[in-house]
Chains A and B, each alone.
Chain A
Amino acid sequence: MRHSPGVAAPPQQDTAQAMKLLVPVKRVVDYNVKVRVKADGTGVETANVKMSMNPFDEIAVEEAVRLKEKGAATEIIAVSIGPAAAAEQIRTALAMGADRGILVEVEGAVEPLAVAKLLKAIIMKEEPGLIILGKQAIDDDMNATGQMLAALMGWGQGTFASKVELAADSVTVTREVDGGLETVKLTLPAIVTADLRLNEPRYASLPNIMKARKKPIENLKPADLGVDASPRLTTLKVEEPPKRQAGRKVGSVAELVDKLRNEAKVI
């Protein structure tokens, strides 16, 4: 750790100069929406549905902003790949404290491999020292883009992070793994993906929302980056999963145990 937590450190020339952070943010159906499968089985209903920034990406943005506030980084770039409306999610990141945005406009779903290729092209131009992604997008539930990007860059990866400590030439990441926690140290530049316990994202204040309107967003197309974003997977069908029938309420603990023993026969 360069600075003790909670202490506003003076800007540090050496790392700060080198340290741009890149945070990819995805526009997804809000986590409170109960999504419905389309009747024709081609996908889920997304028309007139509330859209938001992927919750894990809010955590990633928050982490980047905290690193900047501590003086460990100088600039935060929020990137989204998606429809023109994904500019809204970039604005949210800008209101939380990111400095500028890049929107790569693509219609339709973009798979993690294609997202990683587009991000790689942006990284080659911007040369950030650390990329913080969400661990998982709550629409495709792939949990893949960060790992794929790390592979394409030939960098180390610290996935499912619950703690990130940035130093001049390395980052130490505590990871949520099966059975507990694991800590790894990565050489910079590197990729981190944020898990739920990394931090609690802030709400953007009204003045910051106003300020965010003036921050620049660059618009690009996959062709500008020389990337073929065409999918490798074809969706043949999307259907409702099997429904569980609600059972019944029992009146007492004795009745519950009796049912479990003699009806369900599970204990």
Chain B
Amino acid sequence: MAILVLADHSGATVSQPTRSAIAAAQKIGGDVHVLVLDGEAAPSHAELPGVAKVLTATGEGFAHGLAEPVAALLVSLAPAYSHLLAPGSAAGKNVMPRVAALLDVQIISDIAGVVDGDTFQRFIYAGNALATIRSADATKVATVRAASFDPVPATGGSASTEAAPGITDPALSQFLHAEIVKSERPELAAARVVVSGGRAMGSADSFKILEGVADRLGAAIGASRAAVDAGYAPNDMQVGQTGKIVAPELYMAFGISGAIQHLAGMKDSKVIVAINKDEEAPIFQVADYGLVGDVFKIIPELEAELDKK
């Protein structure tokens, strides 16, 4: 049977976590279909290699990705599929457990490995343990930990596109408004370089000095929970167990102690750099390159050094 992947809602383009979810679907094996909630997104998703069909759904509730109508739609499509997957983004995590319960199956959150169609790996206890689990449910419903699957390329395929059959919106919720910050920077989950700041940054204003480093490296900006809680950075920048999981080529942690909950979100990065004035800070235990010192002294030096050559 085929596998259905619910795509992230990201305007006309395909998100990198969606491409990772498709990679996970291909590991399971079988025809891969993609459901997009925005007609505008159909052409870009039809170009994904290895995707046989793109289904589109349009309507008010779908446009905002509300969990209740989106779950109802997935449930109506479910009989044709062995697996229903979505990226482990805020949207996927909102919808997929609801779908699973409606189908009377146990959701498998954030799969980090595919053993076979019934057997998956996932992290538990903030990444301190890796469990291999087997599902006895007829339909498997799962979200995919993007950092664990190399995304499929953005182009190369040519899927057919068709409209998903209509459903009745259960009308349990209503979208009022959103405050979405549009940034010129790369997406945190997809960036090749991430520059993150912690409590040490001291204020929202001084947190901004990380932008100079990020600009020079084409990096996304991340933050620890302490920095977000203190209002230095917006909530969607939080990296960690309960924030975003990132696995860039280069992760630079400025004034972050390295609590286990933070490490859970970044320890798959290829190269980790830690800058901290405390040479005993736990972050140094996972850092490839550590530099002991004051971030406010080091950041201007770093900018100057990056400007050379």
Interface class of chain B by DSSP: mixed
Judge whether B291 and A250 touch: CB under 8 Å.
Answer: yes
Given A135-B242, A182-B175, decide whether A112 and B125 contact each other with a Cβ distance below 8 A. no
Interface class of chain A by DSSP: mixed
Q: Which residues of B contact A37 (CB under 8 A)?
A: 128-129
- For A177, the closest partner residue in chain B by CB is B90
Q: Could you tell me the distance between the alpha carbons of A111 and B107 in the complex, rounded to whole angstroms?
A: 9
Q: Which residues of A contact B68 (CB under 8 A)?
A: 156-157
Given A162-B235, A179-B180, A238-B129, decide whether A259 and B289 contact each other with a Cβ distance below 8 A. yes
CB of B286 within 8 Å of the partner chain: yes
Q: Could you tell me the distance between the alpha carbons of A168 and B172 in the complex, rounded to whole angstroms?
A: 16
Judge whether A116 and B267 touch: CB under 8 Å.
Answer: no
Q: Which residues of A contact B176 (CB under 8 A)?
A: 172, 183-185
Of the candidates A156, A180, A190, A232, the one having the most CB atoms from chain B within 10 angstroms of its own CB is A232
CB of A187 within 8 Å of the partner chain: yes
Q: How many A-B pairs fall under 8 Å by CB?
A: 257
Judge whether A180 and B234 touch: CB under 8 Å.
Answer: yes
Judge whether B290 and A177 touch: CB under 8 Å.
Answer: no
CB of B12 within 8 Å of the partner chain: no
Q: Could you tell me the distance between the alpha carbons of A31 and B241 in the complex, rounded to whole angstroms?
A: 11
CB of B135 within 8 Å of the partner chain: yes
Judge whether A264 and B292 touch: CB under 8 Å.
Answer: no
Among all A-B residue pairs, the 10 with the closest Cβ atoms: A156-B172, A247-B288, A151-B101, A147-B97, A148-B101, A144-B97, A232-B106, A156-B173, A253-B301, A266-B250
Which residues of B are at the interface with A, using a C-beta cutoff of 8 A?
A: 8, 64, 66-68, 71, 89-91, 93-102, 104-110, 119, 122-137, 170, 172-182, 193, 217, 225, 228-229, 234-236, 241-242, 249-250, 260-261, 267, 270-273, 279, 284-292, 298, 301-302, 305-306
Q: A244-B285, A248-B290 are in contact. List 5 more A-B contacts (CB 8 A).
A: A112-B97, A112-B106, A148-B100, A183-B175, A259-B289
Q: What are 30 A-B contacts with C-beta separation under 8 Å?
A: A29-B125, A31-B261, A113-B104, A139-B125, A141-B126, A142-B97, A143-B109, A144-B107, A146-B97, A149-B101, A151-B102, A154-B172, A156-B68, A159-B93, A180-B178, A180-B234, A182-B64, A182-B177, A182-B178, A184-B176, A185-B176, A233-B134, A238-B129, A241-B123, A246-B287, A249-B290, A249-B292, A254-B305, A266-B250, A266-B271
Which residues of A are at the interface with B, using a C-beta cutoff of 8 A?
A: 29, 31, 34-35, 37, 44, 56, 111-113, 116, 135-136, 138-152, 154-160, 162, 172, 175-187, 190, 195-197, 231-241, 244, 246-250, 252-254, 256-257, 259-260, 264, 266-267
